[in-house]
Amino acid sequence: MPDPTDVPGPAATAPGASVPLTKRFRFGWVVELAAVVAALLLHDALRNAVMGSAKVALRNAQHLTSFERWLGIYHELDVQRWAIDLGTPFVGFWNTYFETLHFVVPAIVAIYLYRKFPPRYVRMRNTFLIMLFVTAPIVWAAFPITPPKFMPPRYGFVDTEATYWNIVPQQPLEYGPDGEPTAESVELEGNLYGGIPSHHLSWSIWCALALWPVVRRRWLRLLLPLYPFMTLCAVTITGNHRFVDLAGSLVEVAVAYGLATLLERWLARRRARHERNGDADGVFVARQHDDEGEPELVS
């Protein structure tokens, strides 16, 4: 039997499928929006709280660089140099892409699902929350990674967001006497060493996964992977992530989606059990009097 959250059309709102609680009362979308914004703000605070040290992050990044060289995929610097050679407007486009679409596209997808496919929205919202508060913070705390743009100069990477035109101007990273980023830099950038999983990549994969079962036209569905691919280009050209970070994001989305699905099914079974118990407690058997036409209700 197909999962009602994964089937477009009427099945997507089949009876028994989960729908957001906020869909059950007027202006509930305002409450839903406020809850999501609060979750994002809390995530920002948590993300910064689990930031590792610069020394550990650099050591982990060097290990990843060696691993990519062993795999034969260490070509991020070549990609960035190719983009820079195409000129400031080209680099500025990718800077703007990196700073804007990361927030705009997931918001559009969430609104679309909330309005048109509420059951799908519930599962993908829960997936998103698991990514925000479980998978990413655990890995970021355990395995901080220096992004390519903050590697020592001998690696050759450029912080394009601070060097070239950017819709959100940024300052070069500054370090204190202890070798750690200054408080001002951390305040501006947030967690500087959250390389794996990359939430730019994870959120783009989340968008494609969210829409995949509800997009009816095959040619549109085939275009969905284009957004994660474009995001991979953006994070590589801007020097924010490595190719191997994509693997971490794929694993993160898979784990979060699996946990959200298990949670949804557990809640569905729990609701069904409560409904059965409620029905059993409220069963009445009608008996007909021999002399009267009125039923006698016996609990």
Amino acid letter, residue 239: G
**DSSP at 172:** P
Give bridge partners of residue 295 from the DSSP assignment: 288
Q: What digits encode the pLDDT tens for the residues 202-256?
A: 999 999 999 999 999 988 999 999 999 999 999 999 999 999 999 999 999 999 9
* Torsion from C-alpha of 85, 89, 91, 97, nearest 10 degrees: -160
DSSP class of residue 291 equals S
What distance in Å separates the CA atoms of residue 221 and residue 213, rounded to the nearest whole number?
A: 8
Sign of the C-alpha dihedral computed for residues 102, 50, 147 and 253 taken in this order: negative
Please report, for the chain, the start and end positions of each structural domain, with discontinuous segments joined by +. 19-169+190-275
Locate 92 and state its tokens: 């500025």
* Single pTM value for the model: 0.86
For 105-152, the pLDDT digits (tens) are: 999 999 999 999 999 999 999 999 999 999 999 999 999 999 999 999
> Which pLDDT score, from 0 to 100, does residue 13 have?
46
Nearest to 166 by CA among 102, 93, 106, 216: 93
Give the per-residue pLDDT at 281: 53
